[in-house]
C-alpha cells in the first residue's frame, strides 16, 4: 500500500495503515484474514452470511446497519423456503453443533488457508500459522454471534423469531447528580511544584531481531532470524533497529531505559502496553508471557523505586486483539494473561487494582493525594477485538465502572488521569460516543488523558456535545518506542502540575526524546538519546490546555510550514519521503479534532460543508494490504 499518507480503516489518517496491528501495512492483513475465516464459516452452509464488504475484522456499527438494510431481501429470499422460526432455529442449532467439533474447525481452517493464499493476503507459511492461531477462537465467536440461532433467525425471519443486535447502539447511564458549571483550570502559581511523568508505549520487543538480516523481507515483520540475508546491493538490518517493518532488539530497550538520566528524575511512569513484537501469525501464550516478564523486569531494573502504572495493549494477547470479555470462562478466557500481569505488576499496584486487573485488565488507584489514576483496557472498545461480536455493549461494564470512579472523584474533589492503549477516537462507535459523553460530563474532574497505539505523535481534542465547538479536554497520543514502521525509537515525558494541595494535575508541557538511528547505527557509534522537541516552545502554545491544541490545528491548516514541523515530529524526526499533500494534511488535521469515531461533523470548521463527503471518503478508504 502507499507507504504514507491518508489511510483507512477506522477513519483515521495514519501512516502505513497501522490499523490491523498498529502500523502494519506489511503485517498480515488481519482484516482479510478475517474475511477468509468468515467466508470459510459461511460457505459450508450456503447461507448468505458474508463478511462485511471492507473485510473488516470487526464490523463497525455501520456494518450492522448494512446487515439490517439487507434483512428484507434476505427474508424475501428465504421466504420461498417457507422457513418457519422453529425450523430456522433447529437449522442453526445444528450448524452450531456441527461447527464446534474438531473436524469442522480443521475444515474451516483449511478453506481459510486456501483463501488466504489465493487472495495473496500473506506468504503461504504466514497464512498457515495465522489461520491455525485464530481458527478456534473465530469458530467460537461466529457460532456464538452471527451464526447463533437467535441472531441469524432474527435477521432472516424478523424480530418475532429472534433478535439481531450485533453492534446495536447502547447507552451507559450517568448519575442524577447535575453537572457542575465548567471550570477551566487556573495556571499554577509561579514556583509551584512540577511533576515529571515518563510515558512509555508500544515497546514491541522482538526476541528474534538479528542485525544484518533483510529489512525488506516478504514477511510482515523483518530484520529477524527468519528474514534471510538482504539482496547483495542492499544493507542489512542495523544493530540498534531499522527504518523498516521491524521491531526492536532488547538492547535498544535497555539503552532507552539506561539513558533516561538526562530526561529525569521522574515522579511516576505511565506505560500503555504493546510489549511483544508484530510477528502476530506465530505467537504462543508462552511467547507473550516471556515478553511481559522480560520487559517488566527490565523496566523495574532501570526505574528502581519509581512507581510504574501500566495499561493493557492490543498486542499483549494471542491471537492479537483477542480479548474476550469476562463472561467467557475457561481456557479461552484472558485469565492466563491478566493473572500473569497481576503477578508481574504486583509491586506497583495496590490490592484493589490487582483485583479488577485480574477480572478485566483495568484498574484505578490514587498515586498521590488529590489524584486518581484510571487505567482502561481499551481492547473492550476495539474494532479489532473479534470477541465483541458476541456482545459489544459496554464490555466488562468498564465504562459504567469508569462513571462510578469519576463521580466518586468529583464528590471528593479529586482530579483524574486516564491512561489506555487504543485512543478513544479509534473505538467502536457506541463505545466512543459514550466515552465522549462521559468526558464532557466530568470535564472539571478529568485532568489528563494519555494513550498510544498509533505509534506516531498526535492528539485528539474533545468538544462540548451540544455545539461541538468548545474544546474541553485533550487526549495525548504519544509516539512509540518501536521503529515500526520507518520511525526513530522514542519516548515521551509529561510535565504535570505537581504534587501539592490544590494542584490542577493538568499537563503543562511535554517533551519527546528519540534515538537517531542513522547516527546510532554508524560503525563505532554509541547510542545517544536526545530531546527532539518541547511542545509549547516548538508550536508557540500559550499553555497545554485543550484550547491551545484546538487553535494549533487551525493554525496548521493555514500555515503549511507549521504543519510540516508537525509532520516531521509526528514521525519522530523521520518523515516519509513522499510529501503530505492537501488531502493528507486535511485528513491528518481532521484526526486531531476527532476524539469520537464516525463524527465527520467534528471537522466541519476545517473544511467547507461541501467537502465533508470527500473527507469522509478519505477516512473510510478500505485497508489495502
Cell readout for 337 is 494473561
3-state SS, 145-204, equals CCCCHHHHHHHHHCCCCCCCCCCCCCCCCCCCCCCCCCCCCCCCCCCCCEEEEEEECCCC
For 478-608, list the strands marked E by DSSP: 490-497, 507-515, 529-534
The answer to whether 605 is a known ligand-binding residue is no
* Residue with grid cell 464459516, as numbered in its chain: 41
Of 428, 290, 261, 273, residue with least CA distance to 362: 273
Q: Which range in 312-320, 325-333, 336-344, 560-568 contacts Zn ion by CB under 5 A?
A: 312-320
Distance CA 212, CA 490 (A): 22
- Encoded one letter per residue, x for contact with Zn ion by CB under 5 A and - for no contact, window 87-126 reads ----------------------------------------
Q: How far is the CB of 446 from Zn ion (least distance, A)?
A: 23
- Nearer to Zn ion among residue 310 and residue 546 (C-beta): 310
For residues 529-558, which are near Zn ion according to CB under 5 A?
Answer: none
Rounded Cα distance, 454 and 434, in Å: 22
Smaller CB distance to Zn ion: residue 20 or 472? Answer: 20
Q: In sequence order, which residues have a C-beta less than 8 Å from that of residue 578 and are 6 or more positions away?
A: 2, 3, 4, 5
Q: What residues numbered 268-287 form the site for Zn ion, per CB under 5 A?
A: 274
What is the gyration radius of the CA atoms in the chain, in angstroms?
24
Handedness of CA 527, 277, 478, 19 (dihedral sign): positive
Binding mask 192-211 for Zn ion (x = CB under 5 A): ----------x---------
Q: Which is nearer to Zn ion, 135 or 274 (CB)?
A: 274
Regarding 458 and contact with Zn ion (CB under 5 A), the answer is no
- Which residue is it, cell 502494519? 24
Which x/- pattern over 345-384 shows residues binding Zn ion (rule: CB under 5 A)? ----------------------------------------
314 touches Zn ion by CB under 5 A: yes
Strand partners, 491: 513
Stretch that binds Zn ion, among 22-30, 89-97, 550-558, 573-581 (CB under 5 A): 22-30
Residue found by looking up cell 521491531 in the block: 247
Task: Please tell me whether residue 316 binds Zn ion under the rule CB under 5 A.
Answer: no
Query: Closest separation between CB of residue 399 and Zn ion, Å?
Result: 20
Rounded to whole angstroms, the Cα distance separating 158 from 156 reads 6
CA distance 373 to 361: 14
Can you tell me the distance from the alpha carbon of 32 to that of 122, in angstroms, rounded to the nearest whole number? 10
Number of residues that bind Zn ion (CB under 5 A): 6
User: Nearer to Zn ion by C-beta: 17 or 230?
Assistant: 17
Q: How far apart are CA 550 and CA 469, in angstroms?
A: 10
Name the minimum Å distance from CB 384 to Zn ion: 9
Q: Which stretch binds Zn ion (CB under 5 A): 51-59, 306-314, 350-358, 605-613?
A: 306-314
Q: Is 274 annotated as a binding residue?
A: yes
Cβ proximity to Zn ion: between 166 and 337 the closer is 337
Q: Dmax over Cα atoms in the chain, in whole Å?
A: 79
Asked if residues 387 and 141 have their Cβ atoms less than 8 Å apart, the reply is yes
Q: Compare residues 308 and 311 and give the one whose CB is closer to Zn ion.
A: 311
Q: Is 202 annotated to bind ligand?
A: yes
**C-alpha 462: how far from its chain's center?**
18
Choice between 40 and 312, CB closer to Zn ion: 312
The reply on whether position 22 binds Zn ion by CB under 5 A is: yes
Q: Which is nearer to Zn ion, 274 or 440 (CB)?
A: 274
Binding flag, residue 453, Zn ion (CB under 5 A):
yes
574 is in an annotated binding site: no
Peptide bond into 319 cis (omega under 30): yes
Question: With respect to Zn ion, which residue has the nearer C-beta, 319 or 370?
Answer: 319
442/451 with CB nearer Zn ion: 451
Q: Give Cβ neighbours of residue 536 (< 8 Å, ≥ 6 apart).
A: 509, 542, 543, 544
Would the annotation count 417 as a binding residue?
A: no
For 372, the grid coordinates are 486518581
Q: How many C-beta neighbours within 10 Å does residue 459 have?
A: 25
β-pair partners for 515: 529
Binding residues for Zn ion, per CB under 5 A?
A: 22, 202, 274, 313-314, 453
Q: Which residues are annotated as a binding site?
A: 202, 204, 274, 314, 421, 453, 455
As annotated, the binding site for Zn(2+) includes 202, 204, 274, 314, 421, 453, 455
Amino acid at each position: 500500500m502507499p507507504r504514507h499518507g491518508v489511510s483507512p480503516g477506522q477513519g483515521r489518517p495514519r501512516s502505513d495503515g497501522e490499523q490491523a496491528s498498529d502500523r502494519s501495512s506489511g503485517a498480515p492483513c488481519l482484516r482479510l484474514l478475517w474475511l477468509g475465516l468468515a467466508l470459510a464459516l459461511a460457505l459450508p452452509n450456503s447461507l448468505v452470511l458474508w463478511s462485511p464488504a471492507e473485510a473488516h475484522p470487526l464490523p463497525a456499527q455501520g456494518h450492522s446497519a448494512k446487515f439490517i438494510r439487507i434483512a428484507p431481501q434476505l427474508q424475501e429470499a428465504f421466504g420461498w423456503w417457507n422457513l418457519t422460526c422453529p425450523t430456522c432455529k433447529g437449522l442453526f442449532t445444528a450448524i452450531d453443533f456441527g461447527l464446534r467439533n474438531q473436524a469442522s474447525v480443521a475444515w474451516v481452517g483449511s478453506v481459510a488457508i486456501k483463501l488466504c493464499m489465493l487472495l495473496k493476503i500473506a506468504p503461504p507459511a504466514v497464512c498457515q500459522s495465522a489461520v491455525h492461531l485464530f481458527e478456534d477462537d473465530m469458530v467460537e465467536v461466529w457460532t456464538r454471534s452471527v451464526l447463533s440461532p437467535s441472531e441469524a433467525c432474527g435477521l432472516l425471519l424478523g424480530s418475532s423469531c429472534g433478535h439481531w443486535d450485533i453492534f446495536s447502539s447502547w447507552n451507559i447511564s450517568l448519575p442524577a447528580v447535575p453537572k457542575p458549571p465548567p471550570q477551566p483550570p487556573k495556571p499554577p502559581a509561579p514556583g509551584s511544584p512540577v511533576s515529571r511523568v515518563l510515558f512509555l508505549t508500544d515497546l514491541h520487543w522482538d526476541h528474534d531481531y538479528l542485525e544484518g538480516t533483510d529489512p525488506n523481507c516478504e514477511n510482515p515483520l523483518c530484520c529477524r532470524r527468519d528474514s534471510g540475508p538482504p539482496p547483495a546491493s542492499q544493507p542489512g538490518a542495523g544493530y540498534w533497529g531499522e527504518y523498516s517493518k521491524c521491531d526492536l532488539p532488547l538492547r535498544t530497550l535497555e539503552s532507552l531505559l539506561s539513558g533516561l538520566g538526562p530526561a529525569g528524575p521522574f515522579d511516576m511512569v505511565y506505560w500503555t502496553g504493546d510489549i511483544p513484537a508484530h510477528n502476530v501469525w506465530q505467537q504462543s501464550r508462552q511467547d507473550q508471557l516471556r515478553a511481559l516478564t522480560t520487559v517488566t523486569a527490565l523496566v523495574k531494573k532501570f526505574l528502581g523505586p519509581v512507581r510504574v502504572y501500566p495499561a493493557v495493549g492490543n498486542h499483549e494477547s494471542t491471537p492479537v486483539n483477542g480479548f474476550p470479555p469476562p463472561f467467557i470462562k475457561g481456557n479461552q478466557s484472558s485469565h492466563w494473561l491478566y493473572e500473569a500481569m497481576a503477578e508481574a505488576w504486583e509491586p506497583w499496584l495496590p490490592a484493589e487494582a490487582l483485583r479488577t486487573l485480574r477480572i478485566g485488565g483495568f484498574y484505578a488507584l490514587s498515586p498521590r493525594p488529590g489524584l486518581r489514576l484510571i487505567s482502561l483496557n481499551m481492547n473492550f472498545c476495539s474494532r479489532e477485538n473479534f470477541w465483541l461480536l458476541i456482545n459489544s455493549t459496554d464490555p466488562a461494564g468498564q465504562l459504567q465502572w469508569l462513571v462510578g470512579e469519576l463521580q466518586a472523584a468529583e464528590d471528593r474533589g479529586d482530579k483524574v488521569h486516564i491512561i489506555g492503549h487504543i485512543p478513544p477516537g479509534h473505538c467502536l462507535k457506541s463505545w466512543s460516543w459514550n466515552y465522549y459523553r462521559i468526558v464532557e460530563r466530568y470535564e472539571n474532574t478529568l485532568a489528563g488523558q494519555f494513550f498510544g497505539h498509533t505509534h506516531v505523535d498526535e492528539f485528539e481534542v474533545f468538544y462540548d456535545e451540544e455545539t461541538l465547538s468548545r474544546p474541553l479536554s485533550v487526549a495525548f497520543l504519544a509516539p512509540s518506542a518501536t521503529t515500526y514502521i520507518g520511525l526513530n525509537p522514542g519516548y515521551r515525558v509529561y510535565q504535570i502540575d505537581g504534587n501539592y494541595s490544590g494542584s490542577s494535575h493538568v499537563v503543562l508541557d511535554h517533551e519527546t526524546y528519540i534515538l537517531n538511528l542513522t547516527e546510532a547505527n554508524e560503525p563505532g557509534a554509541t547510542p545517544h538519546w536526545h530531546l527532539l522537541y518541547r511542545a509549547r516552545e516548538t508550536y508557540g502554545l500559550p499553555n497545554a490546555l485543550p484550547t491551545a491544541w484546538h487553535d494549533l490545528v487551525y493554525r496548521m491548516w493555514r500555515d503549511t510550514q507549521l504543519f510540516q514541523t508537525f509532520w516531521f515530529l509526528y514521525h519522530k524526526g523521520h518523515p516519509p519521503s513522499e510529501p503530505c499533500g492537501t488531502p493528507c494534511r486535511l485528513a491528518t488535521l481532521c484526526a486531531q479534532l476527532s476524539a469520537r469515531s464516525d463524527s465527520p461533523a467534528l471537522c466541519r470548521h476545517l473544511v467547507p460543508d461541501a467537502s465533508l463527503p470527500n473527507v469522509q471518503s478519505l477516512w473510510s478508504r478500505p485497508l489495502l494490504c
